[in-house]
Amino acid sequence: MIVVADSTDSTLSMFRERRRFAAGAGRHGEGGKRSGHDGADLRISVPVGTVIREGDALLADLDHPGAVALAARGGRGGRGNARFATATRQAPRAGELGDPGERRRLHLELRLIADVGIVGLPNSGKSTLLAALTGAHPKIAAYPFTTLHPNLGVAELEGGHTVVLADVPGLIEGASHGAGLGLEFLRHLERTRALIHVVDASEGEAGARQALATVRAELVAYSAELAARPSVFAFNKIDLPGVAATAAVLAHEIQGAFTISAQSGEHCRELLHAAAALAAGERREVPPSPPASHRVYRPRPRRQAGGTVIRERDGFRVAGDLVERMVARVDLDNDEAVARLQRRLAATGVDAALAAAGCREGDTVRIGDAEFVYSDSGLSA
C-alpha cells in the first residue's frame, strides 16, 4: 500500500467516509511449476503537506508533489512442493503458505505549506492583510474568531516570482496547550519560512506590547524553532484616528517593523517585500543534498528464529516474529509439512528452550495462532 502526495488534492475529507483500505490479494500457484501473480499495489492520493504517523512515531512527511511513502507491505508469497524437492525426495507432498500482509493503523495530518505565515491575536487584521496582499477572499468581520480555518493566498512579485501566505486563526493565551484549538492552527506554521506578526495598534501602546508578548509566549511554548523563525512586525490600523502616532512609537522599538493599514493597503507592499526577502533567505540557507557517491553494502547478521518462551497459566507460549511466521506458513493439516516444521523448530532451538523453561510431556505450547502438544520427540499439532 503506497501513499502519494498529489497536488490536485487539497483536503483529507475523503478519509472521513472511508477509513479502511486493502491492497489486492495475490493468486495461488498452479500446476506445472507456475507461480501465482503478485497482488496489485494500492496507491492512495493525499494532499501535499500530509504527515503520516503511527502512534507517536513519524513515518513520512510528504512535503512536495510526488512524494511517496510505503504505508504497508504485502506478505511474502508461499512456496509450492516443487521448491522442496531433493535428489532423494523428488515428489514432496508439503508446500508452504504465504504470509499475510501488514496491517497498520496510521494517522494522517495535513499541514499547510506556505512561505510566510501571518500570526497575531484575534481581530488584529490578519485576514484583511491577506486579502490586501494576495487578493484572497477570506471571511472578514469586526469581531474575534471570524477566521475558523487557515486561509492561503498567493502574492505576485516583480519578475514573475510568487509568495504563498497563510493566515491562521487568531492565537489566544493557552493556544500552545490547545486553547481555542490553538494546536490545530499552530501546526500549520511549522512549514513556513518566515512570519508576519500583525498587531492592532489601535489598542494603545500597552495593549500592543501585551499582544506581542502573548503571541511570542505561545510560539515559544509550542516550538522554540518556530519562535526563532525570521519575522517582520506590522503595527496595523493606522487609518484610524490617532493610531498612526502610536504605531510609529511601537515600530521605532523594533528594527525593521512597519506601520500599515491592511484596510487601505498603505505600506502593505513594502511589508510584503520584506517578508518575501526573509523567506527567500531561509530557502537559500537550506544545505544542498550531498552529491551522489558510491554505495556500501554490508551483510546483515543472520536473525535467530528461536523466540522467547513465556509461561502461561495453562501452558507455554513461544513469542517471536520469525518463529511465528515460520509456523503461520505451514499447513497444519499436512502431516509431511508438520514433520518438516518439527525438524525446523528443533534446529532453531525452540525445543531446547521449552525444556529449559520447564515444559514437560503433554504440556500445551502456543506459537502465534497455532496450538501444539509438547513431547520428548518434539511438538505435535
Q: Which residues contact 111 (CB under 8 A, 6 or more apart)?
A: 49, 50, 51, 187, 188, 190, 191
Domain of 164, in residue numbers: 116-284
Same domain? 23 vs 157: no
Q: Examine residue 293 and state whether it is found in any structural domain, yes or no.
A: no
Q: Examine residue 291 and state whether it is found in any structural domain, yes or no.
A: no
Same domain? 153 vs 249: yes
Q: Examine residue 316 and state whether it is found in any structural domain, yes or no.
A: yes
Same domain? 133 vs 161: yes
Same domain? 120 vs 260: yes
The total domain count for the chain is: 3
Q: Examine residue 196 and state whether it is found in any structural domain, yes or no.
A: yes
- What is the H or E stretch that residue 148 is in? none
Of 232, 241, 108, 119, the closest CA to residue 168 belongs to 119
Q: Examine residue 290 and state whether it is found in any structural domain, yes or no.
A: no
Q: Cα-Cα-Cα-Cα dihedral of 140, 143, 149, 155, to 10°? A: 40
Q: Examine residue 300 and state whether it is found in any structural domain, yes or no.
A: no
Same domain? 131 vs 212: yes
Same domain? 139 vs 274: yes
Q: What is the CATH number of the domain that holds 28?
A: 2.70.210.12
Cell of 294: 558510491
Q: Which residues contact 105 (CB under 8 A, 6 or more apart)?
A: 54
Same domain? 92 vs 121: no
CB–CB of 198/126 below 8 Å?
A: yes
Q: Examine residue 214 and state whether it is found in any structural domain, yes or no.
A: yes
The three-class DSSP label of residue 28 is coil
pLDDT digit string (tens) for the chain, length 381 residues: 889 888 676 667 778 778 888 887 877 766 666 776 777 888 888 887 788 888 888 888 887 888 888 888 887 777 766 666 776 676 677 777 777 778 888 888 777 677 898 888 888 888 889 888 887 664 444 444 444 457 778 888 887 788 888 887 756 444 343 444 444 567 777 778 899 999 999 999 999 999 999 888 888 888 888 888 899 999 999 999 999 999 999 999 998 899 999 989 999 999 999 999 998 886 555 444 444 445 565 665 555 556 789 999 899 999 988 888 888 888 888 888 888 888 888 888 888 889 889 998 889 999 988 899 888 776 766
Q: Examine residue 225 and state whether it is found in any structural domain, yes or no.
A: yes
Same domain? 14 vs 83: yes
Whole-model pTM above 0.85?
A: no
Rg of the chain over Cα atoms, rounded to whole angstroms, equals: 31
Same domain? 83 vs 151: no
